[in-house]
Structure 1
Amino acid sequence: MKEDRPCRPLAVVGAGAAGLSAALWAARLGWMPAVFEAADRPGGQLQAVHQPIIDYLGLPARDGPELIRLFLDHLRQAGVSIALGVPIAGILHRTEPRPHFLLVPGKKTGPPDAGVPASTDRKNGGASVLCARAVILATGTRPRRLGVPGEALIAESAWSSTSRNAERFHGRAVVIVGGGDRAVEGALNVAPHAAVVTLLVRGAALKARSALRQKLPSHRNIRIFYRTVIRRIEASDGPGPRYRLLLAPSDGPPSEAGAGKTEESLPPVLTADDVLLRIGMEPVLPPIWTEASDPGRSQAEDAFLAAGGAMLEETVPEGIWIAGDAALPASERSVAAAVGSGMQAAKRAVLWLEAQQILSEADASEAGG
């Protein structure tokens, strides 16, 4: 595998809100980054936001794609380009002759998107290994899976939006797994159209905001089973609901503050036309290797999980920074937080690069003196 030389000073992996912010700040501070995005469109999870964005200070937008266009206009003015369709499969940390990282492109999946903005390109989408002195990982998160037999049956619709075209659930039996904001909000969106909406909550209480919880009693077709988990998903034979869900009590504590009460006994099997998963997010981080380590599970991902969902910078090699949702606890994830996190990562990366440059110049002076 050939290496693409010389090394770029800084690589930003991911072109969501955090990655775009990091790229803008790095360029502003005089270190033009190379930006790589696995998808064929920049914007990350903002591409799936179909509601008005009303809480981004000074810049309200009709939806996520509109905010992305505003971000890209800003980057275009700063001269930043984005290489699209370039997934990074792994990162190799080398220390000789100077600290640097080799970014190994993975296989691109999915068809190209015809509507790529003018500020983007695919010229770096070949098989060459990409070299950078420092790396900002802004690769975001993905929906967490159940990890149960039969989950593949619901793979295409498990994370479907409930805020867009909610009427498609008309007359259907919908099961939503989770008890947080997204689960309860989904139930409220679907309830006016569905025949019945069932919330399966692993714990003894909902974790959603009180403003959302207070709306549940007004929908008589929403029912909640607490301390409940899915053990298996099966395809249902014949007409009627598409899925059979084999249920079981969870291993949670028998009681806790604010515990909810299930109004009916837990059935061993539940049938459903749609099963939506709203059980949180997990990081999308490439494996990070040293020359002495074997390729395997991502060091960064292990650290994220050990930290309970918040990345600690001390757990990744010097010269790599994590930005955006992968660096933030779930309760703090937002567009504003991602933009701020990208700024912080860029400033720290630039300070580190400048310190490395000073050290390199000092070494060269000593060698020549």
Structure 2
Amino acid sequence: MTTTTHSRMLILGSGPAGLSAAIYAARAGLKPVVVQGMQPGGQLTITTDVENYPGFREVIQGPWLMQEMQAQAEHVGAGMVWDQIVDVDLSQRPFRLTGDGGNVYTADTLVISTGAQAKWLGVEGEEALSGKGVSACATCDGFFYRGKKVVVIGGGNTAVEEALYLTNHSQDVTLIHRRDSLRAEKILQERLFAHPNIKILWNKAVKRFVGGEGAAGLVGVDLIDTMTGEETHEPTDGAFVAIGHKPATELFEGKLELDEGYIVVEKGTSKTAIPGVFAAGDVTDKIYRQAVTAAGMGCMAALDAERFLAEADFEATKAAAAAE
């Protein structure tokens, strides 16, 4: 049996953005419903040590943080639904969404916080050593490599920015790029080339990530020359894959304005081009992509949606009074 569920606010995604939106909306009495998606808790559920989320002096675990955020959202009145949305109709309010099992969700407002995922190389050792020397976020994990040797893989803005950022922690940063020129903006390239603690390995692709014996983490990367095929080994304590992110916005192609896959919102707000539809977190943020910024955007989305509903209710009441 399929069901139809209506809510004043439907939230897609249960990472920091979605759960923060749920907390604020629930406290406003909107009884939001959170559709958790394929990865309840978002990317933090596959992150081990978290040291940069405000309020915790000690290192905390990503999965624990998301469990606490969900528990807080449920405590103040948010509902959680385990489902994956496969179709959306934003042509009229209430908006209509369909889950993969056929359940239908209608909503007066919609908050999209489906997040984005880092692109990975897909080479040997990458998955096994994730969190054990292999990372996709220098801002998140760079601190753990203070005084150690690190490499960054990529050639775009993200890779160059991560390499520059890592010089705050390491005096031995190597950028590995499969071509002989970078795609990054010129000003970033100039800063990179001028930095004394960064070297570049051109025309090199990662063949495998190499772990140490036993429980030891990453000890190096095996490289292959893209021009000659020669194989070399580069010792390193940490490797940062920086080849871009892919926002989870396939459902909204042709339905919302996208910029390189990211949902476009009105500057300084969470408002999309469709009244009543809001976006928050990594799904709309191609620059920062941090748990704390996602949480802040979730708060913005809930407040924007609450104001939208209040205005809509006022207009409806006024129209009803005029018709009497």
Q: TM-score, normalised by structure 1?
A: 0.63
Measured in 1, the distance between the counterparts of 2:16 and 2:302 equals 13
Is contact 2:8–2:108 with CA below 8 Å preserved after alignment?
A: yes
In the alignment, does 2:187 pair up with 1:258? Answer: no
Within the candidate set 67, 71, 74, 2:72 is matched to 74
Q: Which residue of 1 aligns with 2:274?
A: 317
Question: What letter matches 1:102 in structure 2?
Answer: R
Q: Which residue of 2 aligns with 1:11?
A: 10
User: How far apart are residue 284 of structure 1 and its match?
Assistant: 1.1
Within the candidate set 239, 258, 274, 1:303 is matched to 258
Is contact 1:33–1:80 with CA below 8 Å preserved after alignment?
A: yes
Question: What letter matches 1:282 in structure 2?
Answer: K
- 1:33/1:201 CA distance change after superposition, 3 Å: closer
Alignment deviations for residues 53-87 of structure 1 (CA, whole Å, 9 cap, x no partner)? 34413575521112122213322321323112x11
User: How far apart are residue 316 of structure 1 and its match?
Assistant: 3.1
DSSP-derived class of the 2:96 partner = strand
Measured in 2, the distance between the counterparts of 1:30 and 1:210 equals 45
- 1:100/1:272 CA distance change after superposition, 3 Å: farther
Question: What letter matches 1:206 in structure 2?
Answer: V
Is contact 2:112–2:277 with CA below 8 Å preserved after alignment?
A: yes
The residue correspondences of 1:155-234 to structure 2 (distance < 5 A) are 158=126, 162-164=130-132, 166=133, 181=138, 185=142, 199-202=152-155, 206-208=160-162, 212-213=166-167, 217=171, 224-225=175-176, 228-229=177-178
User: How far apart are residue 265 of structure 1 and its match?
Assistant: 6.6
Q: Which residue of 2 aligns with 1:42?
A: 40
Counting matched residue pairs gives 287
Could you say which structure has the larger radius of gyration?
Answer: 1
Is contact 2:20–2:295 with CA below 8 Å preserved after alignment?
A: yes
Q: Which residue of 2 aligns with 1:26?
A: 25
> Please, which runs of 5 or more residues in structure 1 have no aligned partner?
107-125, 146-150, 170-175, 230-246, 289-296
Percent identity reads 19
Moved runs in structure 1, 4+ residues, more than 6 A?
252-255, 272-276
- 1:325/1:211 CA distance change after superposition, 3 Å: closer
> Please, which runs of 5 or more residues in structure 2 have no aligned partner?
204-224
Is contact 2:11–2:32 with CA below 8 Å preserved after alignment?
A: yes
User: How far apart are residue 365 of structure 1 and its match?
Assistant: 2.7
Q: TM-score, normalised by structure 2?
A: 0.71
User: How far apart are residue 325 of structure 1 and its match?
Assistant: 1.8
The residue correspondences of 1:99-110 to structure 2 (distance < 5 A) are 99-106=93-100
Q: Which residue of 1 aligns with 2:285?
A: 328
